[in-house]
Amino acid sequence: MPSMKPQVFQINRRRFLKSAAAITAATGVPGWFLEIEEAHAAQSKPLGPNDRPGIALVGCGSQGRGDSRGAARFADVLAVCDVDDSHAEAAAKQFAKGGTVPQKYNDFRKLMEREDIHGIINGTPDHWHTFVNLLAVKTGKDVYTEKPLTLTIDEGKHLVKSVRDNKRIVQVGSQQRSDRNFRLACELVRNGRLGKLQHMIVGLPTGPDEGPFPEKPVPAGLNWDYYVGQAPLTPYKVTNCHGNFRWWYGFSGGQMTDWGAHHNDIAQWGNGTERSGPVEIDGKSLKELISGGYETASKYRVDCKYSNGVTMTIVDESTVTDRNVVGGGKTTPNGVQFIGPDGWIFVARGKIQASNEELLRKPLPESAIRLYNSSNHMGNFFESMRSRKEPICDVEIGHRSIAVAHLGVISIRMKQPVKWNPEEEEFAGENAKEANKWLAREQRKPYDYSFIA
């Protein structure tokens, strides 16, 4: 009787080809690239039943709980922490397992003292990311942190050094790096499929433009002073807390730093500058802010130039760029477009397109540059915890991608173009002294670096 192994392979192969055809039709990802994906997945080593580290969630809003739901496939949630009692209670209930309920905390510093917690899921608002991450790595814990990595460029410099000094794993939640569409686009661009890359267009959502807003009583169970943290103390307004925090400059940078953290990362990956950055930045807010309303730009345009001659335009979706050629539309789609002399490639979540389909269909040669391959962003974090190999979006990459957004915000708020030295991570040119003052922000005591000393 002949061996059954070839027949099993053929059945799986037929099933794969049918699945690959459906994926190609839906997303534009070519079959040759899906075969590489299948081979990589077959080589991945899954975590065993005894490889489940203890983890804790800090920041129990919807994003943090969503991240922890993914993490719970690989680890045990032992503790949760939030300055809002209702959020901590909801998370504790969600991650109760076998009659064991995660312990609740309202101060992440206490949680970090536990030796049975090996990893932290950081789902806090942007202005708390750095403090939580710094204390985690100082106490010997690895971190999966939400993006944007930092509130300021200076925070990023502090964090990169601390992660390296303490030899910890930090995975930044820029999950598009673990999406085949984005990796395919970047591999094609890095291998010259468009000729020499000339220009990139980053389309981000248009931010909200509302206000003014009335003050409201602080809800029971919410420690508002702690929530505000390092930012200037401001009255509670409902619209400046939880999901709305990012529209207030004390807490965040708006869509520029929210979606910008995702798409700038992909642009830099395709440009080969994920550990560097632009050298010239010219940002403009295209709509006046409402007095007493949201404090981050809703409509904006930022033009950047890199030392390799590549230019980039970051623009909100309602604004047309002079080189917007995706589908001939009148607005800028949410995603990243790479443009070269031989055509363009556009990539977004669930979609990849090109000016000529052959740009996608033609396989890359075996000698081609291959980028870090991850098919599960959270899974990659836990693989790195085990192997001590850098994750796909390590702390430096996360710092450099959000630095692009911070540079845009700085130029917008200064109302001046700026020159940047990515090697020294400081401004250059005639307005450098003024611009360098924007690298850090004054931190309200006691919520400064001494808070985690």
For residue 328, is it within any domain? yes
For residue 296, is it within any domain? yes
Instruction: Tell me which H or E stretch contains 66.
Output: helix 62-71
pLDDT at 340: 97
For residue 72, is it within any domain? no
pTM of the model: 0.90
Per-position DSSP letters for 84-148, written without gaps between them: BHHHHHHHHHHT-BTTB-PEEES-HHHHTT-TT--EEEE---GGGHHHHHHHHHHTT-EEEEPSS
Q: How many domains does the chain have?
A: 2
The tokens for 245 are 């925090």
Encode burial over 112-125: b for 16+ CB neighbours within 10 A, e otherwise: bebeebbbbbbbbb
For residue 243, is it within any domain? yes
The burial class, CB within 10 Å (0-12 / 13-18 / 19+), for 293 is middle
For residue 167, is it within any domain? no
The tokens for 15 are 């099933």
For residue 17, is it within any domain? yes
Other C-beta atoms within 10 Å of 341: how many? 9
pLDDT at 60: 98
Q: What pLDDT tens digit does each residue of the chain (453 aa) get?
A: 333 333 333 445 555 555 656 666 667 788 777 776 666 555 555 444 457 999 999 999 999 999 999 999 999 999 999 999 999 999 999 999 999 999 999 999 999 999 999 999 999 999 999 999 999 999 999 999 999 999 999 999 999 999 999 999 999 999 999 999 999 999 999 999 999 999 999 999 999 999 999 999 999 999 999 999 999 999 999 999 999 999 999 999 999 999 999 999 999 999 999 999 999 999 999 999 999 999 999 999 999 999 999 999 999 999 888 776 676 667 899 999 999 999 999 999 999 999 999 999 999 999 999 999 999 999 999 999 999 999 999 999 999 999 999 999 999 999 999 999 999 999 999 999 999 999 999 999 999 999 999
Q: Report how far apart, in Å, the C-alpha atoms of 267 and of each of 48, 204, 335, 338 are.
A: 36, 12, 10, 8
3-state secondary structure of 164: helix
Q: Pairing relation of β-strands 311-316 and 199-204?
A: parallel
The tokens for 318 are 């309602």
pLDDT at 326: 77
Give residue 14's domain range: 5-43
pLDDT at 65: 98
Nearest to 70 by CA among 348, 381, 389, 384: 381
Q: Pairing relation of β-strands 142-145 and 76-81?
A: unpaired
Q: What is the CATH number of the domain that holds 237?
A: 3.30.360.10
For residue 140, is it within any domain? no
For residue 268, is it within any domain? yes
Per-position DSSP letters for 223-240, written without gaps between them: -HHHHHTTSPP----STT
